[in-house]
Amino acid sequence: MRDLLGGKGAGLAEMTRLKLPVPPGFTITTVACNAFSKIGKFPLGLKSQIAAALAKVEAKAKRRLGDPKKPLLVSVRSGAKFSMPGMMDTVLNIGLNDEVVGSLATLWKNERFAWDAYRRLLQMFGRIVRDIDPHRFESVLDRWKAKTAGGKDTDLNAAMLRSIVDEFKGVYAKEGKRFPQDPRVQLEEAIGAVFRSWNGKRAVDYRNFHKIPHDLGTAANVQTMVFGNLGDDSGTGVVFTRNPATGEKALYGEYLANAQGEDVVAGIRTPLKVAQLKGNMPKIYRELGAHAKRLEKHYRDLQDIEFTIERGRLWILQTRAGKRTARAAVKVAVDMAAEKLISREEAVKRVEPAQVIQLLMPRFDEAAKTLAHKEGRYLAKGLNASPGAATGTVVFDPDEAQRMGRDEKKPVILVRVETSPDDVHGMLWSKGILTTRGGATSHASVVARGLGLPCIVGAESIRVDYDDGTFSVGEMLVRHGDPISIDGTTGEVFVGRIPTIEPDFTREKELLAILSWADKFRRLEVWANADYPRDAVRARAFGAQGVGLCRTEHMFFEEDRLPIVQRMILAASDRERQDALDELLPIQRADFEGIFEAMGELPVVIRLIDPPLHEFLPKYEDLLVESTELRITGKDPARRAEVDRLLKAVVAMREQNPMLGLRGCRLGIMVPGVTEMQVRAIFEAASRLKKAGGDPHPEIMIPLVGHVNELKVERGKLERVVREVMQEQGVTIDYKFGTMIEVPRGAITADEIAEHAEFFSFGTNDLTQMTFGYSRDDAEGKFLMAYVERGILPVNPFQVLDRAGVGALMRMAVERGRKTRPDLKVGICGEHGGDPESIAFCHEIGLKYVSCSPFRVPVARIAAAHAALKEKSGPKGTD
C-alpha cells in the first residue's frame, strides 16, 4: 500500500502488523494530500478522522495530547511512495506548550530534556509551519551557546533553554506570527505543512529530475514520540541485518547511549558498535536481534533499522532495504538464495549490472587514498571514463609506453592531451590512461573501456608539455618518469603511488554463482569483441559465447606491420599493392589462428577492414609543417622529397568528413585485393586449425553496407576465395556471411540486404552518429555534453542507446530482415552491447546476442538476465 501510505507509512503499518514495538501512531493517506493540494485546505471530514485516530493512539499510549499530567508528544513526518530524502518536512515534539513542558519534566524527571524538547518544537514549527527564516532562531541559539564553556547544544542547561524558549517566542512576535498553544492546532497545522511541502520548490525540482510523477502526493505519519536521551538506560541507533560492506551475516551497526537520533548524525560522541549492546543491555540486544531477523525474513532483504531505547524499552522506528556495496549485494543475494529466503531469480534481480562492473575493477585501498588526500597529493579531477584504479610512472609517448610496459614489464600511465588510433599500441601496454581533453566517448574512453583499463579524460586543469616531458596543475609539476595514481571510478588523479587491490574473477565465488544463475534466465547470448588472441582468451574466461567483433585493422596498426600497410596504400601499381598484400597475408593468418584457437568451436565474427586508409599514413598536419620547414631551411633535400611525396599522397586521400568517406566496404570494393587477402588469411587459418583437429566457425562481416549491391559484390569475391582455399586445403569450413547494420540506409533496406546476409550485427556507434548526424569525435566536446546538461538530450546516446531514433531503425531492420530471412541471426557489436539499458532494449527487439568488450561480459550476462526476468514478470517495454 505504498501508493496510499507512502514508504514510511507502509513500513510502520507492516511492522505494527508484525507486532513489533512500534510507537503508536497513524498515517494520513496521499489521497488526503492530493485533496489538500487541490482545494488548499483539509478536505471535509479529515479533522474528525484525525481526532478519532488520535484518540486511539492516546488510548494505546495511555497518554493524551495536551494532557498536563500524562502528555502525549507526537511527530508528523512526510512519506511518499518513492523516497525523496530531505525534500519534504517533519515536525517533532508536537504536544508541548507552556503548561505541558513542566509536566513533561516531571514525568521523565528531567527538566533540561523537557525545555530542550520545547525549544526544538518552537524552532521547527516556526521554520516549517510559520515560514520564519531559520537563521533568526539559530542566531539566538548561537548567542547562548557562546556563553557556555563547551559552546555546544549539550552545554546548554535547563535554565538557559528556558530563556531560549522565551526568546524564540519573541522571534514569533517580531515576525507578527503566533505559536499555537493548543496541541491539536499544532498537530493540524503541522499536517498541513507536510502536505504543502509536497509542492515545495525543492520537492518539485527533485521529482522533475528523477522523473517522479507530481500527482502522487505524500502521506503524513503521526506517531508517538519516544526518547533515547533520558539517561543511561536509554539510547538510539541504526542496525543492519547483515554487514552492508561485506555482506557477512551478522548484526552490524552503531548506537549511542543517552542520545537522540540527531546526536548520532551530529557526531558529537563516537558511537559504539551494536555488538557492544550485547554486554551492556543483553535483553535489549537479544530483542533487537530477534526483531531484525523477523524483519529480514519478512522483507526478504537486508534491512536498515532505526531503533530507540527509551528507559529500558526498545522501540523500532523505521525499517527499509539497506544500501550496500557491490560486494555485499552479491554476497547477500547468494546467501539469501542459499538460505531459501529468496529464489535464485530474485537473487539475480538483486544484483545491479553496475555492481558487477565495480567488482571487476582494481581499486585503491581506501585508507591509503584518504592518506594521499591528507598529504596533499591530490592533483586534479577529470571525467571518470573507465572505472578502476592504477598506479604507474608517467609516460607521454605511446612507443615508450609499449617498450616499458611490454619489454621492461613496468607499470606505466600514459598521459596524453588526447589519443588516436596511432596510440593504441602504447595504450595496450599501459596500466591506465589520462587525457586532458575528450569526453566519455572520446577515443581514449572507448579504447580504455574496451581494454578494461582505468581511464580519466578531460582533466582540463592539467597542462601537458610534451616538449619538456612534464605536466602541471597550477604550481604542481609532474615529470616524465614520476609515479602517479589514477582512480577511473571517481576521476581523481594523485601524485605518487597508492596501493591497489586487484580483483580475481575466478575467485569471486558468489559472483560466479550469480552469473551462472543469470545464464539460466537470459535469452540473449553474450559475446565479446576481441581483436587479439589474448582478448579472446579473456573473453572466454568471462563467459563469452562467441566473438561478435574482431576488428582486423587493429592488427594493421602494430609497429611491425604498419610499414607494409603503408606500402600497400601508396602502391603505384596493382603489382606493388599485391606484393604488400602478399606480405600481410601470413601475418593476418597468424592473428586469426590465435583467435580461432582461443575460441575453440565458438563462432568468431571477423569484420573486414573498416577505417579510412589515411589513418595508416603520417598525419597531414605533421607533414605540412615538416615540408614547410624543409622548404624554408633548404636542409635535407632527400627527406624533403620523401616528405613531399608522402604529403602529396596524403593530400590526395584526405577527406572533409572521413567518417562518411572511403571506408568500410567501400574500401574493399575500391581497393583491389584487400578483401581477397583478408578472406584468404581467415580461411587458411581456419583450415590449419581444422586440420589440427579444431572446429573453427568464422563469420565474415562486411562493414558499412548501405546498399544491397555492395554486399553482393563483396560476397561474390568472398565466395570465390573461399572455394579456392577449401580446394587447396582440402577441408570444408562451416562459415557464415553477414553484414554490419550501421548506416541508416542499411537498416531501412534490411529486407533487400538480408537476401545476401546470413546475419546482421548492429554497429550502433556509427548508426548513432549517422542517425543523429553527430560526429563522435567532435560532438561531445562541442555540444553533446552541453545538450545533456541542459536536458535537450536525456542521456549521451553514445552511452545509452537512443530508443526513439536509433532504436526505431534497429527494430525496423530486425523486422524487415527477418521478413526476407526468418532465421536471420541478429546481434549488436557497438559499445551499447555492454550497457545494461541498451541490452534490455536488444532483448526487447529480439536480438540473438550482444557483443561487448571482454570485461563487460559478466555485466552483460546479468543485464540480459534482468531483461528476461523483467519481461517475464512485468508488462512489456513501451513500444
CB 288 within 8 A of CB 307: yes
As to burial, measured by CB atoms within 10 angstroms (0-12 exposed, 13-18 middle, 19+ buried), residue 638 is: exposed
Tell me phi and psi for residue 791, to 5 degrees.
Answer: 80, 10
Provide the residue type at 510 as one letter. E
Tell me phi and psi for residue 386, to 5 degrees.
Answer: -150, 125
Nearest in space to 278 (alpha carbons), one of 239, 249, 242, 311: 239
Q: How far apart are CA 460 and CA 476, in angstroms?
A: 14
Which residues, listed in sequence order, are joined to residue 851 by a DSSP beta bridge? 527
Q: How far apart are CA 759 and CA 680, in angstroms?
A: 21
Q: How far apart are CA 627 and CA 625, in angstroms?
A: 5
Residue 814 C-beta: closest distance to a second copy, Å: 15
Q: Return the residue of 244, 382, 546, 706 that touches a second copy, per CB under 8 A.
A: 706
Tell me phi and psi for residue 845, to 5 degrees.
Answer: -90, 10
CB 683 within 8 A of CB 799: no
C-alpha gyration radius of the chain:
34
Q: Is 531 in the site for a second copy (CB under 8 A)?
A: no
Q: Return the residue of 368, 473, 512, 660 that touches a second copy, per CB under 8 A.
A: 660
Question: Binding mask 383-402 vs a second copy (x if CB under 8 A, - otherwise)?
Answer: --------------------
Q: Is 715 in the site for a second copy (CB under 8 A)?
A: no
Residue 45 C-beta: closest distance to a second copy, Å: 42
Rank residues 535 and 844 by Cβ distance to a second copy and give the closer one: 844
Q: Is 632 in the site for a second copy (CB under 8 A)?
A: yes
Q: Where are the alpha helices (DSSP H) in 522-572?
A: 533-541, 552-556, 562-570
Residues 6 or more apart whose CB falls under 8 angstroms from that of 161 comprise 112, 115, 116, 118, 119
Q: Is 618 in the site for a second copy (CB under 8 A)?
A: no
Rank residues 170 and 672 by Cβ distance to a second copy and give the closer one: 672
Rank residues 443 and 848 by Cβ distance to a second copy and give the closer one: 443
Which residues, listed in sequence order, are joined to residue 741 by a DSSP beta bridge? 762
Q: Return the residue of 48, 270, 656, 873 that touches a second copy, per CB under 8 A.
A: 656
Q: How far apart are CA 872 and CA 866, in angstroms?
A: 10
Q: Is 669 in the site for a second copy (CB under 8 A)?
A: yes
Active site residue 455: no
Distances in Å between the alpha carbon of 731 and those of 590, 593, 683, 688, 738? 18, 16, 10, 9, 22
Residue 574 C-beta: closest distance to a second copy, Å: 16
Tell me phi and psi for residue 144, to 5 degrees.
Answer: -70, -40
Question: Binding mask 121-160 vs a second copy (x if CB under 8 A, - otherwise)?
Answer: ----------------------------------------
Q: How far apart are CA 504 and CA 110, in angstroms?
A: 57
Q: Is 342 in the site for a second copy (CB under 8 A)?
A: no
Residue span binding a second copy (CB under 8 A) among the ranges 331-339, 469-477, 603-611, 621-629: 621-629
Q: Where are the alpha helices (DSSP H) in 109-157?
A: 111-128, 134-147
CB 199 within 8 A of CB 51: no
Residue span binding a second copy (CB under 8 A) among the ranges 133-141, 271-279, 520-528, 744-752: 744-752
Q: Return the residue of 53, 659, 731, 800 that touches a second copy, per CB under 8 A.
A: 659
Q: Is 743 in the site for a second copy (CB under 8 A)?
A: yes
Active site residue 550: no
Site for a second copy in 755-814 (CB under 8 A): 766, 769-775, 777-779, 782-783, 786-787, 790-793, 802, 804-806, 808-809
Rank residues 173 and 786 by Cβ distance to a second copy and give the closer one: 786
Rank residues 501 and 651 by Cβ distance to a second copy and give the closer one: 651
Q: Are strands 759-762 and 492-495 parallel, antiparallel or unpaired?
A: unpaired
Provide the residue type at 2 as one letter. R
Q: Are strands 363-364 and 500-501 parallel, antiparallel or unpaired?
A: antiparallel
Rank residues 287 and 710 by Cβ distance to a second copy and give the closer one: 710
Q: Which three cell numbers stand for residue 390?
A: 592504477
Site for a second copy in 289-318 (CB under 8 A): none
Residue 804 C-beta: closest distance to a second copy, Å: 5
Residue span binding a second copy (CB under 8 A) among the ranges 236-244, 285-293, 580-588, 653-661: 653-661
Q: Is 445 in the site for a second copy (CB under 8 A)?
A: no
Residue 650 C-beta: closest distance to a second copy, Å: 12
Residue span binding a second copy (CB under 8 A) among the ranges 131-139, 369-377, 709-717, 851-859: 709-717
Rank residues 564 and 800 by Cβ distance to a second copy and give the closer one: 800
Q: Among residues 829, 832, 842, 843, which one is catalytic? A: 829
Q: Which three cell numbers stand for residue 544?
A: 563469452
Q: How far apart are CA 740 and CA 838, in angstroms?
A: 18
Residue span binding a second copy (CB under 8 A) among the ranges 477-485, 543-551, 688-696, 745-753: 745-753
How many binding residues for a second copy (CB under 8 A)? Answer: 56
Q: Where are the alpha helices (DSSP H) in 109-220?
A: 111-128, 134-147, 158-174, 183-197, 201-210
Q: Is 1 in the site for a second copy (CB under 8 A)?
A: no
Q: Which three cell numbers stand for residue 342?
A: 529468496
Q: Which three cell numbers stand for residue 188?
A: 493540524
Q: Is 657 in the site for a second copy (CB under 8 A)?
A: yes
Residue 877 C-beta: closest distance to a second copy, Å: 18
Q: Among residues 291, 425, 443, 697, which one is catalytic? A: 443
Rank residues 73 and 647 by Cβ distance to a second copy and give the closer one: 647
Rank residues 297 and 811 by Cβ distance to a second copy and give the closer one: 811
> Look-up: residue for cell 516531571?
106
Nearest in space to 138 (alpha carbons), one of 101, 177, 167: 167
Residue span binding a second copy (CB under 8 A) among the ranges 206-214, 493-501, 543-551, 736-744: 736-744
Residue span binding a second copy (CB under 8 A) among the ranges 357-365, 460-468, 742-750, 857-865: 742-750
As to burial, measured by CB atoms within 10 angstroms (0-12 exposed, 13-18 middle, 19+ buried), residue 506 is: exposed
Q: Is 710 in the site for a second copy (CB under 8 A)?
A: yes
Contact residues for a second copy (CB under 8 A)? Answer: 621, 624-625, 628-629, 632-633, 655-662, 666, 669-670, 704, 706-707, 709-710, 713, 742-745, 748-749, 752, 766, 769-775, 777-779, 782-783, 786-787, 790-793, 802, 804-806, 808-809
> Which residue numbers are catalytic?
443, 829
